Structure 1
Amino acid sequence: MLFRRSLRASAAALALLLPFAAACGGDASADSSSDVSSVTLKVGDTGWKVSEAVLKYAHLDDTPYKVKWNLFQGGDLQLQAMRAGALDLASSSEIPPIFSAADGKPNFKVVAVQRGTTLNQEVIVPKGSKVTDIAGLKGKKVGYVQNTTAHYFLYELLKRAGLTWSDIDAKPLLPNDGLAALNGGSIDAFASYGTSVITAHQQGATTVGSGADILSGNFLWSARDSVLKSPAQRAAAADLIARISKAYAYVRDGHEDGFAKVTAEATHQPVAQAKSDLVAAQKQRPTQARTVGADTIASQQKVADAFTELGALKKHLDVKSFWTTALNSDLKKAL
């Protein structure tokens, strides 16, 4: 409580703590349709619930609505859960919504973009491997996380190396399964991201290819259609997305050490390494939400076209059909 009072003493820190007015208190009560107090959002998170963790660390988890966090190994599984009606908000790269909407009957819309780091998006080989570059993967068994960033950057890296998808024996695997397969010798390389890559390096794996400069850094927030029909749920969703941005701003504002400790405990790596990764990630591309724009839609269209070229999509997909600016106004206020 002393810490919270000290934050309130600073105008700059106060701005970090305040959700937008319509979501908490006076203005919201004037319009019952925007009263978020009865809202419960079922929200997806990937890896080690980093979004939930950063909110707690920045003391921004005291939302005037309820949040039920659900952990998944990848954004693709979040979108599957959303299609099944089990999530209200899903966070993912640009890829999962493409495949989730490919049947032309999505029950969601992309409502916001969270700019984020593309580090730790790599093709790795186990300790002792003789493979030193992507060209060396020809004829090899290569694991990848299907319908995710790993699928996309592996395809693009192969093209740059003069190889095609058919030049490798591609094996779709979940992150944890792929890591086990890599260590067990049943695959020669693995294209993955996040914690699985960090863990692999701790176990002696080396990098032969990176998606850092291939990926856009656009990570998408998708909302179920039922959320968009409710002013209160829209307000809550915008507030939560903005809070995550503000929490990362708090971390960057001289609080890296503490969050590095939180990260290290969750990922089982040395604190010094966790801080180094955190600082590098925020330097490369500070985590920050932004509203939907023509450029963000165009970025995802480029990715969808690549999957059509690969044959993973059976026909051209017009991605703007599942984007909306319905959250733009609320999100601008919240940010």
Structure 2
Amino acid sequence: MPTSFRRAISMLLVLALLPLGLAACGGDDDGGGADTAAAASGDGGGESGGEKVKLRVGVQKDGIRAVLGKSGQLDDLPYEIEWSTFQAGPPLVEAAGADKIDIAWVGCAPPIFGAAAGAEFKVIAAVQERDRQENRLLVPRDSEIRAIADLKGKKIAVPKGTSGHAFILNALQSEGLSTDDVEFAFLAPPDALAAYQNGAVDAISIWDPFAIQAQQSLGAREIVAGEPHERGLGFEIASAKALEDPAKVEAIRDYVRRLSAAWEWAGENPDEWAAAWTEDTRLPLSVTRAAARRKASDIIPLDDTIVASQQRLADLFTEEGELPGEVTFTDIVDTSVLGESGGAR
């Protein structure tokens, strides 16, 4: 790998790892390092026995906290929010199952892996990114890889159980390839970037904003992204324990409504969201500006089409030997929390 490329990605790693270290207290497996924000009192629900409910919200470097705050949706909350920052979706599902958080937004694959592990959580709504794209398959600029078919015999870094994992499996299948034809290096995002830096892998499958940052800082070359290998679909998940508490359920409903309104605002004010996103995560403003223009999302109902799509993905993971057993996606779906609208405005 050229010296200039190694030097550039070293700079990227410093930028990427700094906010993770600050937010996750060294990147513990459970995401670690929760920081708490107590919201102002307001009218409405969220009271339990005369005490204000504390809603524990898990986030990544996904701009959620920033969009809620900048859009004014965190004003006058009838409950407190405790924020916990995680590196990726799988530890968010694990934390929900262990009753360490109440609600989080994750990609398409983490709920499947959580179900396979027997985690105690539910999928309560679907989230559709408006650009219908989340992940990119990236290679160094001078790589011989030009198409998906060229991945045969190559080593690919990807965080296990994430949307990036689902994306690369679907991409491989589209060319008649399987996990037997490639070698996966299952690494958390910072470690995946490190492996990419030192030439230990040939490609990386990763989501925005990491992918945007790699492209901007390194000139990393995109092989494929988005549809038809994914549709930018994610999910709001909730702890099963939280769903047993009526006051928590009401707070979850209110939070999802506020998030939906915040994303509506973000679609009209991407630069303001980007600035707040950068302030919250220390990602470069050029990265958050690019992300904000396509990452606004809509909370949509968990309809039969979505459930069927997730079941096909679960079956693919099982067929490829990535899961210990079969998963029935409907077993982790709970549409009663948000009703037929899925919580959308």
TM class, shorter-chain normalised? 0.7 to 0.9
Are 2:199 and 1:185 aligned? yes
Would you say the 8 A contact 2:122–2:240 is kept in 1?
A: yes
For residues 156 and 334 of structure 1, do their structure 2 counterparts lie closer, same or farther at Cα, with a shift above 3 Å needed? closer
Equivalent position amino acid for 1:140 in 2: K
> Is structure 2 residue 153 aligned with structure 1 residue 139?
yes
Aligned-pair CA distance for 1:36: 9.1
242, 247, 254: which one pairs with 1:232? 247
Calculate the TM-score normalised by the size of structure 1: 0.81
Name the stretch that deviates more: 60-69 or 306-315: 306-315
In 1: Cα distance, 2:226 partner to 2:325 partner? 25
Residue 188 of structure 1 and its aligned partner are, at CA, apart by 0.9
1:23-34 → structure 2 map (5 Å cutoff):
25=43, 28=45
Aligned-partner SS, 1:238: helix
The match for 2:174 among 160, 172, 187 is: 160
Q: Which residue of 2 aligns with 1:95?
A: 109
1:36, 1:233 within 8 Å by CA — same for their partners in 2? no
Partner of residue 237, structure 2: 222
Give the equivalent residue in structure 1 for 2:12: none
| Deviations 1:181-226, CA, capped at 9 Å, x for gaps | 1111111111111122122112221111223432233211111112
More helix by share: 1
On the 8 A contact 1:238/1:330 being kept in 2, the answer is no
Q: What is the aligned residue count? A: 301
Q: 1:128: how far off?
A: 2.3
* Contact kept in structure 2, 1:216 and 1:299, CA below 8 Å: no
Shift of 1:298: 1.9
SS at match of 1:242: helix
- 2:73 is the alignment partner of 1:55: no
- Secondary structure in 2 matching 1:328: coil
CA pair 319-197 structure 1, distance change in 2 beyond 3 A:
same
CA distance in 2 between counterparts of 1:218 and 1:280 reads 13
Counterpart Cα distance in 1 of 2:240 and 2:158: 30
Do the aligned partners of residues 264 and 332 (structure 1) sit closer, same or farther apart at CA in structure 2, a change above 3 Å counting?
A: closer
Provide closer, same or farther for how the CA distance between residues 264 and 42 of structure 1 changes in structure 2, counting only shifts above 3 A.
closer
Question: Aligned partners of 1:267, 1:156: CA distance in 2, in Å?
Answer: 32
Kept in 2: contact 1:239–1:331 (CA 8 A): no
Structure 2 equivalent of residue 172 of structure 1: 186
Letter matched to residue 65 of structure 1? Y
- Tell me the equivalent position of 1:295: 305
Task: Choose 1 or 2 for highest CA Rg.
Answer: 1
Query: In structure 1, what is the equivalent of residue 327 of structure 2?
Result: 317
User: In 1, Cα distance between the equivalents of 2:329 and 2:232?
Assistant: 17
SS at match of 1:187: coil
Whole-Å separation in 1 of the counterparts to 2:207 and 2:50: 35
Which letter maps to 1:55? L
Query: What SS does the aligned partner of 1:101 have?
Result: helix
Alpha-carbon distance in structure 1 between the residues aligned to 2:121 and 2:343: 22
**Would you say 1:124 and 2:138 are equivalent positions?**
yes
Give 1:73's aligned residue: 87
Residue pair 1:125, 1:205 contacting (<8 A) in 2 also: yes
Shift of 1:83: 2.4
State percent identity of aligned pairs: 29
**SS where residue 234 of structure 1 aligns?**
helix
**Residues 330 and 155 (structure 1), Cα distance of their counterparts in 2 relative to 1, 3 Å cut:** closer
Provide the residue aligned with 2:219 in structure 1: 204
The match for 2:127 among 84, 107, 114 is 114
Q: Distance in 1 between matches of 2:254 and 2:59?
A: 16
CA distance in 2, matches of 1:249, 1:277: 15
Contact 2:299 2:344 in 1 (8 A): no
Encode CA deviations 1:11-56: one digit per residue, 9 max, x unaligned: xxxxxxxxxxxx9636x49xx76x89621111111125x1110011
Q: CA deviation at 1:270?
A: 4.8
